[in-house]
Amino acid sequence: MRVLVLGSARRWRIESCFARALGRAGHEVLLLDDRRLARTVGRRAAQRWVVWRAERFRPDFVLLSKCLGLELETVDRLVRDRANAMWYSDAQWFTHVDVRPDIGHIAAVARQARTLWLPAFVDEWRAMGHDARLLPFAADVDIVPAAPRPELATDVAFLGTGYDPERARFLVELAKHVRLRVWGLGWEKWRGQLDWAGAPVEGRAFAEVCSSAALTLGITASNAKGHPFYTDRMFIVMLAGGCYLGEGGRDANRMLADGVHCVWYDSLDDCVAKATRWLADERGRRRIREMGEHFVREHHSYDERVSHFLTGAPYVFPL
């Protein structure tokens, strides 16, 4: 099957991961980065080029993402009379459809798709009239653990952006109890309270941080509380060699078993207690790392997820 994927061509972005997974499944894939095209050749020229390239490729199936570089008329030409679907990663922004033009555009693109696949907040999008279906995030099988580096060793590592004051307060409190180090942009306001590495990490560097820390922390953003799988962070961490300590919530134990594949916590106090308990058990952490990585490779890879786009088969929780 020839599959056209619209979205970011950066290596670790989700659309690029989808494209590689589809290729491994034996499909012929064309990935077009609509936003990059709009920036480099201009928005009007990008519309013509995308349509021309798609018509030459003659896709059997079109997989849409945010399509922020495309006009709605262009999207219509791409999907008209073709099997198609959309996957929207930032589903938690459903409350901003009427107040943010970019989210409004994404919702309009979703109305043009036959099926809208979401990692969370399915009921909310369904209530807005979309044919919304659950398809959780996953991780790229190309991600592998790295050899630990002594200079990166810490009790707990957190990798993320400092855009959420509530998340920052959580980290500041946790740092009073364990040796915590933070990687990512935007933590200047808290540099005096946190051991901040000062830069984000991707690819091999991400794996080196996860593999070197005793525990790698996940904190649910304030606008996604109770939905731990609104992000792909836990799956990436586990393939990258991390022992994942994350905030649980809806369907957590249907996706990953607590104390087997990862460690779930439900509050700051519980996080401190769980971190303290597992920091004292190196053999247990090693077991969780190994079982977690194996389980994610088997059940939570993008190779497993892409079949749902093409077949429409509903997602089934592995546990």
Instruction: Give yes or no: residues 234 and 254 share one domain.
Output: yes
**84 occurs within a structural domain:** yes
Collapse the DSSP code of 275 into the 3-class scheme (helix H, G, I; strand E, B; otherwise coil) and give the result: helix
CA 212 to chain CA mean position, Å: 22
77 with 216, same domain: the answer is: no
Domain-located, residue 319: no
Report the CATH number at residue 279. Answer: 3.40.50.2000
Q: Are residues 306 and 268 in the same domain?
A: no
Same domain, 181 and 275: yes
In this structure, the answer to whether residues 306 and 288 fall within a common structural domain is no
State the CB neighbour count (10 A cutoff) for residue 151. 6
Q: 294 and 165, same structural domain?
A: yes
CATH number at residue 126: 3.40.50
Q: Tell me the Cα Rg of the chain.
A: 20
In this predicted model, what pLDDT tens digit does every residue of 51-107 receive, in sequence order? Answer: 999 999 999 999 999 999 999 999 999 999 999 999 999 999 888 888 899 999 999
Per residue in 171-216, pLDDT (tens digit) is 999 999 999 999 999 999 999 999 999 888 988 999 999 999 999 9
Residue 145 placed within a domain: no
pLDDT score for 230? 87
Residues 291 and 306 in one domain: no
Q: How far apart are CA 123 and CA 81, in angstroms?
A: 28
Does 262 reside within a domain? yes
Q: Mapping DSSP to helix (H, G, I), strand (E, B) and coil, where does residue 187 land?
A: coil
Please check whether residues 295 and 306 belong to one and the same domain: no
Residue pair 76/51 in contact (Cβ under 8 Å)? The answer is: no
Q: Which CA distances in Å does 250 have to 133, 164, 183, 230?
A: 16, 21, 27, 10
pTM value is 0.92
b/e 276-287 (16+ beta carbons within 10 angstroms → b): eebbeeeeebee
Whether residue 295 sits in one domain with residue 155 = yes
Residue 32 lies in domain = 2-138+302-311
**CB-count burial class (<10 Å; 0-12, 13-18, 19+) for 174:** buried
In a domain, 187, yes or no: yes
The rounded distance, in Å, linking the Cα atoms of 285 and 262 is 9
Number of domains in the chain: 2
Q: What are phi and psi of 33, to 5 degrees?
A: -90, 95
Domain assignment of residue 316, yes or no: no
% of the chain at pLDDT higher than 90: 89
Residues 85 and 161 in one domain: no
269 shares its domain with 210? yes
Q: How high is the pLDDT of residue 157?
A: 98
Same domain, 129 and 154: no
249: left (phi over 0), alpha (psi -120 to 50) or beta: left
Residue 237 counted as domain residue: yes
Residue 144 lies inside a defined structural domain of this protein? no
